[in-house]
């Protein structure tokens, strides 16, 4: 018995490993996506709070005049100091006020206020001043991005590149009391900082997920091995051994099944018990069969003998008229179903009466048997029937039907040769009148119609043979 090409233990392990791997991948992606969205929402709220807080300390009309005239006021100086304090107190990259300028002449950013830390002011005391055009700091695409957000009436969030790095920006448009838009309050957080937080959190979660996955696989495989795979392996080993010993075994006492010690208290144990009971029932069943075997063999022999007597010709051992009648029923059903494709050869022995009269019926039987043998050898794929003392019918189907003309020609040559062979005894010079007809769906309604045409052609051949001999 062939061993399983895919042991269940290996299949379970591969499936479990693949499932846990896909699950870990899915959970990792889900964790990364969820945390990223959550983190950005959190930073959005934080940046919004900063912008709103700074906005609440801006004298918008005064700042508007400063932007318009290019002159710094006292309030402007106080706002710069306030924004510097925000830079000191909050973990942000930049806090600034700018005005995007996008027209046919230029696409630039104009500085209004750039907050800085005390350290930054000390290292770069000049800093950026009011109305400074930052033409070399921002790319044109980023200026347009600023301008698009500047034209909205709400806080916008976007990523941008500048000489200061890759930042995540929140922008709040500023308007004076007349509703005129004149500047944009912005706060930046370094994207790298966000990405580092995301990577750290995601990495920790992936490690945790993988650890839990490995832990689950380990315990699951151990549990499966104890309760399912190992008991099944033991059961398979016992059943295979029993099957090999039982093959062609006729001695019930040798049909012994070595039941494995399985105590899983689940379906595997129930299956093992069922196999044990089955082997016991099998032994009893074999004993019963052996007791009846002699009777069955006797009955089969008797049935075979009765079949032979009922459907076989005693002299030639080909099928008789009774079997021809049974075959005729089957062929007629094929005709009704539209699947019939056959031909019939009618063969009638010549000179049988002459052989019987001159040499006795025993030689006549030899003549019949020999002629029948030549017919059977030629049409070795077709049934041959003896329907009368000297009459034979060959039913041509399948390959013999396809080759009917060639086979018929060979049969005629064989009988012509034997009938003229002077070296043989008279009862060995076989001569036969032959007629062949094919089934025609357009004119034949039953097998007997074809038989009649074959019989007529045979009779015509017999008459022609007699005329030729005279």
Check residue 1 and give its pLDDT.
46
Q: Say if residue 271 is in the same domain as residue 385.
A: no
Instruction: List the structure tokens of 421.
Output: 């062979």
CA torsion sign for 297, 303, 309, 313 is negative
In angstroms, the Cα distances linking 123 to 119, 126, 132, 458 are: 6, 9, 19, 128
Of these ranges, 130-144, 274-288, 401-415, the one predicted with the greatest mean pLDDT is: 401-415
* 306 inside domain: no
Rounded CA gap, 278 and 286, in Å? 12
Residues 266-285: what's their mean pLDDT?
A: 72
**Among 23-32, 207-216, 234-243, the least confident range:** 234-243
Residues pairing with 385 in the sheet: 319, 393
Residue 297 has pLDDT above 90, yes or no: no
Q: Say if residue 161 is in the same domain as residue 125.
A: yes
- Domain boundary (155, 179, 197) is at 197
Q: Is the Cβ–Cβ distance between 340 and 402 less than 8 Å?
A: no
Closest CA to 80 of 45, 118, 115, 33: 115
State the average pLDDT for the chain: 85
* 205 inside domain: no
* 211 inside domain: no
* 234 inside domain: no
* Paired sense of beta strands 384-386 and 319-320, if any: parallel
Residue 295 has pLDDT above 60, yes or no: no
Give the Cβ contact number of residue 392 at 10 Å: 24
List own/partner pairs for 17-26 with CB under 8 A and 24 or more apart: 17/217, 20/213, 20/214, 20/216, 20/217, 21/213, 23/213, 24/206, 24/209, 24/210, 24/213
Which pLDDT band holds residue 186 (cuts at 50, 70, 90)? very high
Is 0.75 surpassed by the pTM of this model? no
Look-up of token digits 């029993």: 242
- Domain boundary (197, 228, 263) is at 197
Q: Which domain holds residue 165?
A: 33-197
Residue 451 has pLDDT above 80, yes or no: yes
Closest CA to 83 of 187, 189, 193, 159: 187
Q: Say if residue 291 is in the same domain as residue 361.
A: no
Phi, psi of 153 (to 5 degrees): -105, 25
Instruction: List the structure tokens of 187.
Output: 């706060």
Q: Say if residue 290 is in the same domain as residue 395.
A: no
Q: Say if residue 323 is in the same domain as residue 413.
A: yes
Which pLDDT band holds residue 166 (cuts at 50, 70, 90)? confident
* 229 inside domain: no
Q: Say if residue 354 is in the same domain as residue 280.
A: no
- Domain boundary (160, 180, 197) is at 197
Give the Cβ contact number of residue 247 at 10 Å: 8
Phi, psi of 2 (to 5 degrees): -65, 140
Check residue 14 and give its pLDDT.
82
The string over 199-217, giving b where at least 16 C-beta atoms fall within 10 Å of a residue's C-beta and e elsewhere, is eebbeebbeebeeebeeeb
* 303 inside domain: no
Q: Identify the CATH number of the domain in which residue 363 sits.
A: 3.30.70.270
Q: Say if residue 179 is in the same domain as residue 78.
A: yes
Residues 28-34: what's their mean pLDDT?
A: 82
Q: Say if residue 169 is in the same domain as residue 276.
A: no
Q: Say if residue 193 is in the same domain as residue 253.
A: no
* 53 inside domain: yes
| pLDDT tens digits, 364-383 | 999 999 999 999 999 999 99
Give the Cβ contact number of residue 186 at 10 Å: 25
Q: Say if residue 290 is in the same domain as residue 358.
A: no
Q: Identify the CATH number of the domain in which residue 166 sits.
A: 3.30.450.20
| pLDDT tens digits, 390-411 | 999 999 999 999 999 999 999 9
CA torsion sign for 27, 33, 37, 43 is positive
* 281 inside domain: yes
Q: SS3 string of the chain?
A: CCCCCCCHHHHHHHHHHHHHHHHHHHHHHHHHHHHHHHHHHHHHHHHHHHHHHHHCCCCHHHHHHHHHHCCCCHHHHHHHHHHHHHHHHCCCCEEEEEEEEECCCCEEEEEEEECCCHHHHHHCCCCCCCCCECCCCECHHHHHHHHHHHCCCCCEEEEEEECCEEEEEEEEEEECCCCCEEEEEEEEEEHHHHHHHHHHHHHHHHHHHHHHHHHHHHHHHHHHHHHHHHHHHHHHHHHHHHHHHHCCCCCHHHCCCCCCCCCCCCHHHHHHHHHHHHHHHHHHHHHHHHHHHHHHHHHHHHHHHHHHHHHECCCCCCEEHHHHHHHHHHHHHHHHHCCCCCEEEEEEECCHHHHHHHHCHHHHHHHHHHHHHHHHHHCCCCCEEECCCCEEEEEECHHHHHCHHHHHHHHHHHHHHHHCCCCCCHHHCCCEEEEEEECCCCCCCCHHHHHHHHHHHHHHHHHHHHHHHC
CA angle, 195 as apex, 193 and 196 as ends, to 5°? 65
Q: Say if residue 273 is in the same domain as residue 327.
A: no
Q: How many domains does the chain have?
A: 3
Q: Say if residue 190 is in the same domain as residue 330.
A: no
Q: Which residue has the higher pLDDT, 7 or 443?
A: 443
């Amino acid at each position: 018995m062939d061993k399983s090409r895919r042991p269940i233990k290996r299949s379970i392990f591969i499936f479990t490993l693949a499932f846990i791997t896909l699950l870990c991948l899915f959970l990792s992606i889900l964790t990364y996506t969820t945390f990223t969205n959550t983190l950005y929402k959190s930073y959005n709220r934080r940046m919004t709070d900063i912008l709103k807080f700074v906005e609440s300390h801006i004298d918008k009309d005064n700042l508007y005049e400063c932007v318009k005239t290019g002159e710094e006021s006292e309030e402007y100086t106080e706002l710069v100091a306030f924004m510097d304090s925000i830079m000191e107190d909050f973990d942000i990259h930049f806090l600034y006020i700018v005005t995007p300028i996008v027209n046919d002449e230029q696409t630039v950013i104009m500085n209004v206020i750039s907050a800085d830390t005390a350290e930054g002011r000390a290292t770069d005391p000049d800093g950026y001043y009011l109305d400074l055009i930052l033409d070399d700091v921002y790319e044109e695409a980023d200026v347009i991005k600023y301008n698009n957000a500047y034209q909205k009436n709400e806080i916008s969030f976007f990523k941008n590149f500048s000489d200061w790095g890759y930042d995540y920006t929140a922008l709040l448009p500023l308007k004076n009391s007349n509703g005129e838009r004149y500047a944009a309050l912005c706060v930046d957080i370094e994207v790298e900082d966000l990405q580092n937080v995301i990577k750290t959190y995601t990495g920790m979660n992936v490690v945790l997920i993988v650890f839990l996955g490995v832990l689950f696989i380990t315990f699951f495989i151990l549990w499966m091995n104890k309760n399912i795979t190992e008991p099944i392996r033991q059961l398979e080993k016992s059943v295979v051994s029993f099957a090999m010993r039982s093959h062609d075994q006729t001695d019930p006492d040798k049909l012994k099944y070595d039941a494995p010690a399985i105590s899983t208290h689940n379906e595997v144990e129930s299956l093992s018990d069922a196999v044990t009971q089955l082997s016991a029932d099998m032994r009893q069943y074999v004993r019963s069969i052996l007791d009846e075997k002699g009777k069955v063999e006797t009955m089969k022999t008797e049935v075979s003998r009765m079949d032979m007597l009922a459907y076989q010709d005693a002299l030639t051992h080909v099928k008789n008229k009774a079997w021809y009648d049974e075959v005729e029923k089957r062929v007629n059903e094929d005709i009704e179903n539209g699947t019939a494709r056959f031909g019939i050869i009618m063969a009638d022995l010549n000179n049988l009466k002459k052989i019987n009269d001159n040499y006795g019926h025993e030689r006549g039987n030899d003549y019949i048997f020999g002629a029948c043998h030549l017919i059977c050898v030629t049409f070795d794929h077709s049934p041959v029937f003896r329907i009368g003392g000297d009459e034979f019918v060959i039913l041509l189907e399948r390959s013999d039907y396809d080759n009917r003309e060639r086979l018929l020609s060979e049969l005629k040559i064989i009988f012509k040769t034997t009938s003229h062979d002077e070296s043989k005894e008279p009862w060995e010079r076989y001569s036969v009148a032959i007629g062949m007809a094919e089934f025609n769906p357009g004119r034949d309604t039953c097998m007997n119609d074809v038989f009649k045409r074959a019989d007529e052609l045979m009779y015509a051949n017999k008459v022609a043979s007699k005329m030729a001999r005279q």
